[in-house]
Every structure is written in C-alpha cells, then in structure tokens.
Structure 1
Amino acid sequence: MAVVGEGFGPTIALDGARKVRGNLTQARIRWMVLAMLMGFGLVGGRLVQLGMVVPDSTIEGQARDVITATRPPILDRNGLEMAVDIRVPSLFAEPRRIIDVEEAVQKLRTVLPDLDEAWLRNRLTGDKGFVWVQRELSPVIQDRVMRLGIPGIDFITESKRFYPGMNEASHILGSTNIDNQGIAGIEAHMDGENVALLQDLGLARGNALAPVELSVDMRVQHVMHEQLIDALERYKAVAAAGVMMDIHTGEIIALASLPDFDPNQPASALVKDSFNRITAGIFEPGSIFKTVTMAGALDSGAVSVSDQFDARFGIRFGRFTIDDFHGKHRILSLPEVYKYSSNIGTIRIMQAMGKEDYRAFLTRMGFDKRVPFELPEMRLPTVPKDFSEVGAATASFGHGLSVSPLHMVAAYAAFANGGNLVPPTLYKRDIADTEPFYQRVLQPSTSDALRYLMRLNALEGSGSQMNKAAQGYRVGGKTGTAEKVVDGRYSASKVTNFFASAFPLDNPRYAMVIMVDEPKAENPQSGTTAGWNAGTVTGRIVQRVAPMLGIAPDFSEVLDQNLVPPALR
C-alpha cells in the first residue's frame, strides 16, 4: 500500500514504475544489439565463405580466359600480316536450363543439319551448366540459331586464327588448335618459350598484344613457294624445299617445303609427307658437302688453292673403288676438283687434312648437333662419331652422313660472310644484335677462296645452268646429287638434288639452299642431276627476288676477276 501525504502523489509507486520501464528498455536495447551483432556476424561469415570459394571459370575443363584470349598478330619484316585473330561466335548450351530437349534437338538441326541427332540429344540432356555444341560458326548461323528462341542455348565470342597467305608460309607459321593455342611452327614457339617473356612484359593473353615481327619477307617467300610448286610440276618431283638466309644477321628471309598444308585447316598438316624438310628432314647432302671439305682443308693449311691432286685413277678401299661420275682421269688443280666435282680429288684433299682433323672440323661447323632455331619441328643430324678411312672418304663428298638443309645454309653463310657461323632466326634482328653470337670457324682468307670457287663453278662448272637464269647477280654455289637408299642399297634412279649458293659474291648478303627430291628430266635434252633442276630453280628465284632485296644487276667481268685469289692471277 502506497504512503501518501496531503498534496502529494504516490511517489514510491511512481519511482518503481519508472525503474521497471528503464530496466525493460535497457534489456530491449541489449537484445537488439545482440541481434544486430548476430546478424552482422552471419553476414560477415557468409561473405568470408563466399570469398573463399573459387568460382568455376572453366568451360569443359578449359579456362574461359584462354578460350576467349587473343593472340598477337604476326607480321613479316615489312609489316605485312601473316597471321591475325578474327572474332567468331561459338554455340554452347546449358542443359539444366533446357525445357524440352527433343524440341531443342529438332530445331537446332534445322540450322545445323550436320550435327548427329543422337550425339546432340545426349549433349543437351542432364544438369550440366555448360557444354559446347559447335564452335567457330559464322554470324549468319548465329543469327539463325538465335531466332529459334531456344532457352538454354547461347553463344560465346572467341578468337580464331586466320592466315591470309594460306599455304605460302605454313611451315614457318605452324598452326593453332580450336582453343587458339599454338601447336606447331612459330605459333607453338610463341606459346612455349616466349610465354614467360610475355608475362614479364605484362602482356597476358586476352589483352591487346604487340605484333610479332618475323624476319621473313613475304615477297621473297611468295616467289620461292611459287618456284618450288613449278619445280614439282616441271620435274615430276615428289617433294621440293628451299631456305634463304641473311648471312650477316642469320635472319631467315624465306623458308618453304612442299608438300605443305593450309594452316587455316590444321588437319591438313597430317597429310603424308607434308613435314618441314628444311628443319625436320635430314638427308645425305651429296656434293654440296664438298665445299665443307674444301673449307676445312684450306683453313687448316693442309692444302692451298694452287695445289694439284692426282685424279687419274679411282681410290680403292678393300674391294670397293670410288671413282668420279664424269671423270677427267688426270691431274686436277684444286679449283678443277671443285668445278668438275671430282670425288677422287675431294678425297685426296680430305686425306691431306687427316680424317681426325676433318671430323673435328665438322664439329666446329655444328654438323653433329641440332641447329639452334625457333621452330620445334627439328631433327638431329646423323654424323658418325669417328670416321674409318672409307667413312671419311665418303663423308668428304657428302655420303654416309645426314644433315638438314638448315645446317647447310648456315654453313654456306659462314663460307661467304668472312668465316663466322651465325645462328639462324625467324625474328628480326640487326647486325649489332647478332655479332655477340658470331662464332669464328674460318679465316677471312679461306672465305675469300671459297667465294672464288663457288663463283667459278657458276661460270664454268655444274652451276652454269643456274648462272644463265640469274645472269648479272653474281651467284655462286655447288650442286649436289645424292643417291637415295632403297632396300639397303643406293639407287641410281632415285636421287635427292641440292643447290647451295650465295649472292652477290662480290659483296655477299644471302645464302640459299634448294632441294628437289626424285626429279625427272624436264625434256630429252636435259638431265636429272642437280644442275638441271635445283640449280635452275635457284637461278629463277634469284633473278626475281634480287631486285626486291635491293641488289642491282651488274655484268662487269671485273667483279668476277676480283674474286680470283692472288695466287691464281
């Protein structure tokens, strides 16, 4: 019972009520704060949980950014596009969103009738979030599919590689797979050894990448490719190949090998014999290897350009005798050994050097290892580790060992450039960047003598047919006709022909090797040896590309006379 006084209210009861209401308010505030804290805690925990979840950024196991990535354009040395990316729509489905699978199958096949019905039905059935239906379609097909209005069917835009030159540079460029990843040629090299460099530069796939500039001149490439096609038809050959190299920088100006393929259709690269014969083929080089023998012997000092050698009789090794194809059967000077392509004389020159020193010289020239080069399609040469007497003899004129045409063009570049072995490259580089890679393999005087011998062979020897086609451009080189091994024996009817050259020899800039495999005589008046086919192909190529490369014709005999060594003047 409350106690009250006159004129006063029930103060005791009033204070108690206020106290109760205050306690209740505080309790409510505490519960509200606790509820808010619990709410924020739940939200925060969920955010942490979501932050720890790695979202699925793959498409059927393939990263989305890889599929939609772009590749840098590839340009030739003059800025002409050799490979570019185009954006194409690709059709995919989300099976869990498809309402009526049978209806979707029937509608899609009205636009894409080549799709197998059972395969498509199985593809669209299930609860997957993404499946490919068909990739790299045209915008017209995309529009027709979208008009069907099928739920769960959509397109993603991805990159597709396009090669404007088609087959012309296929063995240089290689190709990409359907995910736009390099699988051969320079495309594979860009995705392999250069990926770390691209990351260091911050040029991740998917961004606009700087163009890749190659050393190739597509004008020269077009001429070489065209002339090799002509050689296949003209000489009824089974294959042909060629490579041209800047002798001072090692830049590959042109490289072609037939049969080839269309990189826009990568499956065409699987056709039989469409491999790159310049890098992935090794062959007995035949007589173009005689220049190597001359180089080693002259540089060692074992012989001089004015020496003479007995080529009257064949050289016997046990029950075998090695003779000349068109023997003079007399004493020959060293230049005559070269221009008449005497096997006997070449063996005598090698023997003057000694087979051990000769084998060591082949190592110095890099013939027993792979040429350092960007293309992944490479093959190791086969050169015996040690030479027997007969093994050294046959090797001196290019038999009993196998090397690639890339080995030979690098060697001929060294023969012409003053004696420096330069590693070839498919990327642009200048002399200043190249000189640190120079490897001195010959004295400059040896290089001078070899230039004279190559030009002499063009003027008076087996290269005369070539010289007629390239008159005025001072080309010199050596023919090589190598009999192919059939059923374990050399066949006289099946040969691989080579012509290795350099030009212009008064001021050399380029080396080239041309190969024609199993040629037939063009007409009854011609033959099947290298001078008639690989040599004439070389002449026709030089005649057309020399002006493109800034080389003017000059018919002055003084230029040739200046190449003659002082000892022979």
Structure 2
Amino acid sequence: MTFLSRIMLLKSQAHFSTDVQRGGGPTMNGAAFKGTGKRKTELARKRVGLMIAGFVVAYGVIGGRLVQYGYAQPEVTSSILPADRLMASRPDILDRNGEVLATDIRTVSLFAEPHKIVDPDEAVEKLATVLTDIDIKGTYKKLSNPNSHFQWLRRQLTPKQQSQILALGIPGIGFRPEKRRFYPGGSTASHIVGYVNIDNRGMAGMEKYIDNQGLADLRDLGMTSNAPLEPVRLSIDLRVQNIVRDVLVNAIDKFKALGAGAIVIDANTGEVLGMGSLPDFDPNNPAASAQEGWLNRMTNGTFEMGSTFKTFTIAMGLDSGKISINDSVDARYPIRIGGFTIKDFHGKHRILTIPEVFQYSSNIGTAKVADLVGTEGHKEFLTRLGLLSKVRTELPEVAMPSQPREWKKINSITISFGHGVSTTPFQTAVAGVAMVNGGRLIEPTFLPRTREQAEQFSTQVIQPSTSKDMRFLFETNGVKGSGRNARVEGFNVGGKTGTADKVVNGRYVGDKNFNAFLAAFPIDDPKYVVLTFIDEPKTDKGNGAALAGTSAAPMAGEIIRRSAAILGVEPKYGEDGSALLVSY
C-alpha cells in the first residue's frame, strides 16, 4: 500500500471515531444513561435533606417557644385577677341549725378591650342606656385609649344587665365569670358574719376569720378554683339573732339613742347564740352604711360599764374572804379622797348589808369593799377575769380595754363602781358568765362547742361558793332591785344594772348616759347570760332621765321573753316551780 493510501485510510478511521463519539454508538449509550440517573438521585437526596432540615428547624423553634411559655409566669395586670381566682369559691356560712348566713352566687363582670373599640362615643352612649349611673367621662377615657388591651367597666352585673348589654352589640365589649357573696339575712348578723370586698376577700367578721385560717393562702395558690368547700357552721341561732336585732331597733327608735347592743351567751359552753350592735350595715352593700355602721360596739367599742362592775367588786370581796354575804357596810357618809367626794345616787344614809349594797347599787358600800381587798388585789382580780386584757375569740374586731397607767387608791375606789376602766360590753358579759356558772371563765366562741370541749377553754377564777352567792344577789336584785323591769314570768331572771355618766371634754356629764344590764336566767341554774346596753338614751324628760332600769333592763327582758322557749329553757311557775300555767 502506497504512502498516500495509508494516509487516506487513517483519515477515514479518524472521521468514523469522531462520528461515533458524537452520535453515541451502541457501546457508549448505556454508560451515558447511567451517569445521568445517578446525578438525578443525588440531587433528589439533597432536596429531601434540605426539606427535613427545614422541618426540624421549624418544629424546634415551635417546641422551644412552647417550653418557654410553659415556664413563663402568667401576666396579671393590677386591674384583673387570673380567671381561676375570679371564680374561686368561699365556703358557705351557716347558723347552728343549718340556715344559710352567707353563700356564693355566680355572676359576670363587664370589661372592654379599648384597642378593639371602633367608636368610643357610640359605645359609651349605648352603655349608658343600660348602666344609667355609669361615669361617662371616666368610661370614655378608658375606651379611647388605643394602647389599652383591658379595662374593667362594671363588676358583678345582674343577669338582666348582661342580657341588655349583649343586645347592644358593641364590639370590644365582653364578660368575665365571677362569684359574688350573697347574705340572705342582710343586716341581721352583719357584725358577726362580716363582709367581703369586690374580689371576694374577707374584710371583717367571720369572713375575715375564715381567710385568716388559710383560705386566703389557698386562694392565692389557685387551690379553691370553682370547687365546693365544706360549710362553716357558727354557734349563732338565726332565730335568736333576729330577736336580738329587732329589740335593738325598737330601743333605738324609742329612746332616740346614739347606739345599742346586746348579746346572748351559753353559760356552760361560752357559745354566742346571738349578738347585735346598732348602727349596723347590710353586708350585701357595706359601703352604703359608711364607717359608722361598721363599728361593732359589742366587741370593738370600749365603755365605762358603770354599776355592772359592782358585780365583780362584790364577788372579789366574797372570794377573798374579806367579807361574807351576811356582813354589813357603813354607807351613812360620803367618802372624800383626793379632792373627790364619793356618794350614792339613791343614798339610804345607813348601814347596809352586802345584799343591800348590791340591791341599792351603793357606791360607798362598794368602794369600802374594794378598799378592804386593796389596790393590788383589785387589779389582780380584774386581770383574772379578763377585764383588763384583750379577749380571745374568732372575731378579728376586738378592742383592747383601757386602764390607769398607775393604780392608786382613788383609781381602785372609782373602778369599783365602774368608772376609770373602759372595757368592751362583750368581755363584760364573758366575765359575767363566770359569776353565775360556778366560777369558770370560759373563752367565748362563735363556733359550735360542747360542754366537754368547753372544759379545755375554761379557767376557775372564783370559788363555786362565791358564784352561788352572786346568783343569790342577782336574784335579789331581779326581784326587789333595779332589775325588776327585766323579770319574765316563769323564767326567774336576775341581774345588775349600770348607769354610767359619759365623759365629754374630760369631764363627766349627767345628761349623757351609757346604760347597761347584765342578766342571767334561770338564775337558780343559769343556762344563758344576756347583756344589753344603750348609748345616750333620751326621753321626754331629758337625756339623763332614761336610767338603765328603765331602758337596758326592759331590753334584756324582751330578749329573754321571746327567745327562752327557742333556747329550750322550760318555764317554772309557783314558789317551787311545780305549778303549770293553764288557760281556758
């Protein structure tokens, strides 16, 4: 083959090789398809991987935020409580017979979200058609703040108000469920039961006592949310309580007095069966009575109790052995000491027996008994009876008595007949219980208690024989003395009156009296002690004409007459109590 022929052959082979590479001959075609599929698979894997990574990041962010929200504290503004606390329950309060004194009712409160209010003027105008006493300027100011997300407009609506507001169709207005405290008896036992504020927290009386026993802490922890709680049963008998208040209302009206009060205590257990103080208030609307009605004069007011204190002075002399029931005291002449003259209001100007000292309420005789015991002994005895210290009981509103900083002889003498020491009527009645029940001072309670349980809260303060003598003196005064107007046929009422001049501008005045009566019945075996008082009673004859025997004593008699049967005290007629009252 010539040289030229070889060159042509090589050129033709080179041309064929190039065409094969360009056209994809049978040998190279499979490898090309295999490379393309591999690249697509790798690309798909990368895309799926990116999608998985994206989902992991997104759900990781969401999960992290959920954990963050789970650990975050709830945001609470100063104007609204968390929903669970708005619906927190309070236990019902019942009397000793199961009658409801306080309970919770469901209600709603009106709020607004100002940032959603389209036209504040229109919203206020519509609300005013239902809530006629609404503060238009104040409400407009609340609704016109675009940066505010919550505002209370009215707490505790009636169902009718809620329905009428719903019909207005105002955007940005809503309701939140709440609980409202309701007192079916109104003012009947207001100072005992107390009241709650707008957030259902106890502010006074047994309502505050219940909160102080741990309910407030449970509420703050959210552990009382909408859950029924065991009712709290009081020692109060609603029937007796109603009688007590009715008698006080009539006395205030009759004597045009500044105030009045009364209490009925079980002489063997220390239970309070009824207690009232006027002026009082309606716990459903406590603000309407202002502060004057909030003062519980029985437990939180201190007064010079006048001649009722002679009960404790005579008991002190008998218990110390310095005198006996058969002794006599010279009451012929006034006592002059420290520039003062001690004389009797209705002086007999003769030697008096101890029962006569008590019956005639002799200041001279009582002062001489106190002098026999001595100043230190006198102070110790009143301290023993709890008359110089704050009485312990469930009610938070209890005042501290006042006494002289330094006891001198003149102080002891004036205190012996009820001037110079101010105590609460409540603790005077408690000390009076010890005078007639055998000498046991029992810590008073507004909760049910048995006689056996009362033993744990009692202290022997005078001898049983002294208590027996005091029952005799009470009965004598009830039959022959100033307690005659408290007598109730069949129930043998005994007691001691006290008419104290009040202090005005540092001086005692004779035309303003604080009258009290301390009674027990039936006096031969006392079951109950009753104390009544009336502050500054007035009559047609003048302010000072209404004495305790004609004002406070009849009040006690009326309470006993109407409540004795309710309390289970059986009447006795005749000298030996065996006669029956028969009516045809």
Same fold (TM over 0.5): yes
Pairing 1:387–2:407 present: yes
Aligned partner of 1:50 in structure 2 is 69
8 Å CA contact retained: 1:203, 1:209: no
Deviation at 1:517, TM superposition (A): 1.4
8 Å CA contact retained: 2:338, 2:410: no
How far apart, CA to CA, are the structure 2 residues paired with 1:18 and 1:132? 69
User: Helix, strand or coil: the match of 1:120?
Assistant: helix
Aligned partner of 1:226 in structure 2 is 246
Q: 1:202 to 1:106 in 2, by over 3 A?
A: closer
How far apart, CA to CA, are the structure 2 residues paired with 1:314 and 1:55? 75
Deviation at 1:139, TM superposition (A): 1.7
Letter paired with 1:539: G
Deviation at 1:44, TM superposition (A): 2.1
1:434 to 447, 454, 475: 454
Aligned partner of 1:350 in structure 2 is 370
Letter paired with 1:250: G
| Range 403-412 or range 204-213, more displaced | 204-213
Aligned partner of 2:9 in structure 1 is none
How far apart, CA to CA, are the structure 2 residues paired with 1:441 and 1:203? 44
Unaligned 5+ segments in structure 2 are 1-16, 579-584
2:98 to 79, 91, 99: 79
Q: 1:194 to 1:418 in 2, by over 3 A?
A: farther
Deviation at 1:52, TM superposition (A): 3.0
How far apart, CA to CA, are the structure 1 residues paired with 2:181 and 2:36? 84
1:150-169 to structure 2, matched below 5 A, reads 150-169=170-189
User: Helix, strand or coil: the match of 1:193?
Assistant: helix
Pairing 1:486–2:504 present: yes
Aligned partner of 2:567 in structure 1 is 549
**Percent of aligned pairs with the same amino acid:** 44
Aligned partner of 1:297 in structure 2 is 317
Aligned partner of 1:63 in structure 2 is 82
Letter paired with 2:188: E
1:192 to 212, 216, 221: 212
8 Å CA contact retained: 1:284, 1:482: yes
Aligned partner of 2:531 in structure 1 is 513
Aligned partner of 2:197 in structure 1 is 177
| Range 485-494 or range 287-296, more displaced | 485-494
1:275 to 275, 291, 295: 295
Q: 1:335 to 1:544 in 2, by over 3 A?
A: same
Pairing 1:204–2:224 present: yes
Aligned partner of 2:7 in structure 1 is none
Q: Deviations over 1:305-332 (max 9, x none)?
A: 1222111211121432211111112222
Aligned partner of 1:241 in structure 2 is 261
Pairing 1:473–2:515 present: no
Q: Deviations over 1:474-500 (max 9, x none)?
A: 211100000011222111111110001
8 Å CA contact retained: 1:421, 1:440: yes
Q: 1:39 to 1:92 in 2, by over 3 A?
A: closer
Q: Deviations over 1:237-276 (max 9, x none)?
A: 2211111111222211111111112222211331536521
1:446 to 445, 466, 491: 466
Q: 1:21 to 1:140 in 2, by over 3 A?
A: closer
8 Å CA contact retained: 1:300, 1:353: yes
Letter paired with 2:125: Q
User: Helix, strand or coil: the match of 1:445?
Assistant: helix
Deviation at 1:10, TM superposition (A): 7.5
User: Helix, strand or coil: the match of 2:177?
Assistant: strand
Letter paired with 1:353: V
How far apart, CA to CA, are the structure 1 residues paired with 2:138 and 2:272? 47
Aligned partner of 2:418 in structure 1 is 398
Pairing 1:104–2:104 present: no
How far apart, CA to CA, are the structure 1 residues paired with 2:72 and 2:339? 80
Deviation at 1:198, TM superposition (A): 6.1
8 Å CA contact retained: 2:87, 2:225: no
Deviation at 1:49, TM superposition (A): 2.5
Q: 1:197 to 1:547 in 2, by over 3 A?
A: farther
2:379 to 342, 359, 362: 359
Deviation at 1:346, TM superposition (A): 0.9
8 Å CA contact retained: 1:59, 1:130: no
How far apart, CA to CA, are the structure 1 residues paired with 2:232 and 2:220? 16
Aligned partner of 1:563 in structure 2 is none
Deviation at 1:454, TM superposition (A): 0.8
Letter paired with 1:46: R
User: Helix, strand or coil: the match of 1:557?
Assistant: coil
Q: 1:194 to 1:416 in 2, by over 3 A?
A: farther
User: Helix, strand or coil: the match of 1:207?
Assistant: coil
How far apart, CA to CA, are the structure 1 residues paired with 2:261 and 2:499? 15
Unaligned 5+ segments in structure 1 are 561-569
How far apart, CA to CA, are the structure 2 residues paired with 1:459 and 1:203? 58
Aligned residues: CA RMSD? 2.8
8 Å CA contact retained: 2:88, 2:225: yes
Deviation at 1:11, TM superposition (A): 7.6
Aligned partner of 1:504 in structure 2 is 522
Q: Deviations over 1:4-32 (max 9, x none)?
A: xxx98878767766765665565455445
Deviation at 1:535, TM superposition (A): 0.6
Deviation at 1:96, TM superposition (A): 1.4
Q: Give the TM-score normalised by structure 1.
A: 0.90
Pairing 1:34–2:53 present: yes
| Range 29-38 or range 379-388, more displaced | 29-38
Aligned partner of 2:349 in structure 1 is 329
8 Å CA contact retained: 1:263, 1:269: no
8 Å CA contact retained: 1:177, 1:266: no
Deviation at 1:200, TM superposition (A): 13
How far apart, CA to CA, are the structure 1 residues paired with 2:85 and 2:508? 51
Q: Deviations over 1:68-126 (max 9, x none)?
A: 33322211111111122222232211111222222222222232333233222211122
2:549 to 526, 531, 535: 531
User: Helix, strand or coil: the match of 1:268?
Assistant: helix
| Range 314-323 or range 390-399, more displaced | 314-323
User: Helix, strand or coil: the match of 1:262?
Assistant: coil
User: Helix, strand or coil: the match of 2:356?
Assistant: helix
Deviation at 1:457, TM superposition (A): 0.8
Report which of the two structures shows the higher radius of gyration computed on alpha carbons.
2
User: Helix, strand or coil: the match of 1:245?
Assistant: strand
1:414-425 to structure 2, matched below 5 A, reads 414-425=434-445
> Aligned residues, how many?
555
1:127-138 to structure 2, matched below 5 A, reads 127-138=147-158
Pairing 1:261–2:300 present: no
Letter paired with 2:231: P
User: Helix, strand or coil: the match of 1:418?
Assistant: coil
Deviation at 1:381, TM superposition (A): 0.4
How far apart, CA to CA, are the structure 1 residues paired with 2:174 and 2:44? 58
8 Å CA contact retained: 1:367, 1:383: no
How far apart, CA to CA, are the structure 1 residues paired with 2:289 and 2:523? 37
Letter paired with 2:71: M
8 Å CA contact retained: 2:249, 2:278: yes
Q: 1:274 to 1:9 in 2, by over 3 A?
A: closer
8 Å CA contact retained: 1:258, 1:274: no
